[in-house]
Copies of this chain bind each other. A is one copy, B any other.
């Protein structure tokens, strides 16, 4: 068990009552503004002392009010990327980055300074004072500082919110590697479903101080209703695959999944690499006939297994493609017109372009499987 939380804490009129367990190597905390995400992370890091409850991280009891146990924050070895940076104004960027290192036993220093600096693109800032950094630069330095303290658990409170997409794209793989190889479990606060879908192995959904859902990412993400949002619907199925071939000429990669073959933009993984593939419900077009002459390269055949709840004009159709569950969000009108009743054979059409880097995670599945053992 990586994280086992059961706490109650009052703050003014707000009460956080959180109870969940997470076995995921990256636990995403999701919830609207003011739902208690930061409060929860503060409790885990030891910045606040909850009124009641118990927090166990990686088998270590950090808090147990029934026994009066409370590990002070400096002994938790929990790296914390704060929502508001909190860089030390009297130290320059380099000193900020190396701050945690002073307090890390020498043989536990694993994170490479140069590597972290290069990854976060802050090499040119090393001699600057935090007060001269831009918002996003500050946030990157704060991430670097937490990473370089070689924590046993990493808490990140919306670390990427103030970063541009290109920068995020560079950082995601690093977080994945950290999650998968570094052996550092991560708790990530985010309100970007795309981010969560890409990175999380477990998800905890908070609302008004209460945990409304928690579990493995693949399961939680299927409940598209939890992630209602105005932008593209990001929820959908997470399926497992393996690289089988590269089509160098078109810069494409062929991935074999149980549901069928998928052609996606070229991936930098050798043939045979296990992958997690996200099929956003919104990206799937259903066709009752085998389609022809389409620019979309991916067609998966399956049967309608059921339809979910309606969200306004749209409804989620759950397909069974060779045992793999897919979710397609279509209009109710189409369901009626195409008569998409359970058992009906349909073809799921997905553009290759839909598989952007966010939809194709690293080998998170290895963990997912570990996790489910």
Contact = CB atoms under 8 A, between A and B. Distances in A.
Interface of A: 11-13, 31-34, 37-38, 83-84, 124, 128, 132-137, 140, 157-158, 161-169, 172, 191-194, 227-233, 247, 250-252, 263, 265-266, 282, 285-289, 291-297, 312-314, 328-336, 338, 340, 349, 351-354, 356-358
Contacts of A137: 33-34
A140 B356 CA distance: 32
B331 A252 contact: yes
Contact of A231 (B132, B165, B252): B165
Nearest to A163: B33
25 contacts: A12-B128, A13-B124, A33-B137, A33-B163, A33-B167, A135-B157, A161-B162, A163-B191, A165-B228, A165-B231, A168-B230, A169-B230, A230-B358, A232-B232, A250-B331, A250-B336, A265-B331, A282-B356, A289-B293, A291-B291, A294-B349, A295-B328, A297-B331, A297-B334, A330-B351
The 8 closest A-B pairs by CB, nearest first: A33-B136, A165-B229, A169-B230, A251-B313, A295-B334, A164-B191, A286-B295, A250-B333
A161 B84 CA distance: 12
Contact of A332 (B133, B134, B251, B332): B251
Contact of A282 (B37, B136, B291, B353): B353
A137 B12 CA distance: 15
B83 A252 contact: no
Nearest to A328: B295
A152 to B, nearest CB: 25
Nearest to A12: B132
B358 A295 contact: no
Contacts of A192: 165
A162 B33 contact: yes
Contacts of A336: 250
Contact of A312 (B11, B168, B266): B266
Contacts of A292: 289
Nearest to A229: B165
Contacts of A84: 84, 135
Contacts of A135: 33, 38, 83-84, 157-158
